[in-house]
């Protein structure tokens, strides 16, 4: 029986809101979740890069996953990021996400070590075999130092039915096109989601499925409206929203990592939230806050 597409559309990578002492701010995170669901997103992805998973320990990641799944309460599908450098921990977190009620997991390739193709394939297959949940691969070569090629991804999808998609966070239309033409052509149920705001329109035009991109935290209406216009066949209106999406990544250059920028933008455009970030990230200074506010106002986002 033909599998159907899952997890398509706009699925923001949710920022984790923390209190000033680094604990999960449940009220702030809940309010952010509600605002995105109210804006019409198609799902939510927790504990990705913007969720600061790399600054959290295993117990903290489990607690945040449990809170997020419970608060969303089946209103939209929930994806939980479970990847990392340690395969045993990834499997533990993946099984925890399944037991907690997640709809799927998102698994980044191991970083620090460069991993041979055979070991990389084995890693993803072991994770996929450890759960019955759908698995979305997470390609972010700028941070991991290693690209998941379309050929490698096709090998994985050929071998495991529960590997159902990819978050392709790469600034390359050619890479997205190759993923769609190589993998999605062979497996129509396979979901190709871009990770950069300014590639959403390109991804849709090429036959991809949507985006998991940071602006969904502070301006979900732009990507939601772009997707709806595209689905309605109104390419002129979609292009109008695309013009805004093209400008948004400028703000991500204000600091590294830019998790602080996203939280400041949430506070400016959505509602006041704690902008505390976990080290080694730090607070955004006042001059950069002013630059961010000016850019958001220029784009009419706040």
Active site residues: 49, 112, 138, 167
| DSSP letter string, the chain | -PPPP-S-EE--BPPPPB-TTS-B-HHHHHHHHHHHHHTT-S-EEESSTTTTGGGS-HHHHHHHHHHHHHHHTTSS-EEEE---S-HHHHHHHHHHHHHHT-SEEEEEPP-SS---HHHHHHHHHHHHHT-SS-EEEEE-HHHHS----HHHHHHHHHH-TTEEEEEE--S-HHHHHHHIIIIITT-TT-EEEESSGGGHHHHHHHT--EE--GGGGT-HHHHHHHHHHHHTT-HHHHHHHHHHHHHGGGGGGGSSSTHHHHHHHHHHHT-----B--TTS-PPPHHHHHHHHHHHHHTT--
- Neighbouring residues of 228: CB distance < 8 A, sequence distance ≥ 6: none
Token representation of residue 132: 């019955």
């Amino acid at each position: 029986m033909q599998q159907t597409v899952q997890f398509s559309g706009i699925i923001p990578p949710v920022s984790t809101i923390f209190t000033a002492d680094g604990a999960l701010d449940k009220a702030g995170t809940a309010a952010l979740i509600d605002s995105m669901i109210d804006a019409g997103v198609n799902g939510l992805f927790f504990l990705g890069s913007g969720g600061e998973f790399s600054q959290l320990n295993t117990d903290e990641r489990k607690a945040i996953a449990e809170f997020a799944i419970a608060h969303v309460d089946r209103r939209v599908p929930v994806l939980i990021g479970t990847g990392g450098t340690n395969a045993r921990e990834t499997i533990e977190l993946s099984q925890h996400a399944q037991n907690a009620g997640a709809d799927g997991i998102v698994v980044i390739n191991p970083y620090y070590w460069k991993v041979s193709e055979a070991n990389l394939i084995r890693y993803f297959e072991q994770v996929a075999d450890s759960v019955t949940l759908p698995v979305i691969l997470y390609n972010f070569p700028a941070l991991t130092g290693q690209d998941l090629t379309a050929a490698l991804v096709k090998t994985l999808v050929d071998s495991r039915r529960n590997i159902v998609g990819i978050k392709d966070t790469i600034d390359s239309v050619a890479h997205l096109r190759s993923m769609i033409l190589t993998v999605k052509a062979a497996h129509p149920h396979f979901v190709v989601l871009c990770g950069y705001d300014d590639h959403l329109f390109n991804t849709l035009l090429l036959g991809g499925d949507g985006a998991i991109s940071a602006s969904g935290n502070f301006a979900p209406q732009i990507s939601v409206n772009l997707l709806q216009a595209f689905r309605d066949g109104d390419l002129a209106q979609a292009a109008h929203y695309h013009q805004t999406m093209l400008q948004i990544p400028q703000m991500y250059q204000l600091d590294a990592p830019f998790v602080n920028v996203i939280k400041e933008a949430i506070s400016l455009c959505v509602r006041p939230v704690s902008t505390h970030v976990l080290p080694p990230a730090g607070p955004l200074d006042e001059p950069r806050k002013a630059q961010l506010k000016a850019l958001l106002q220029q784009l009419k986002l706040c």
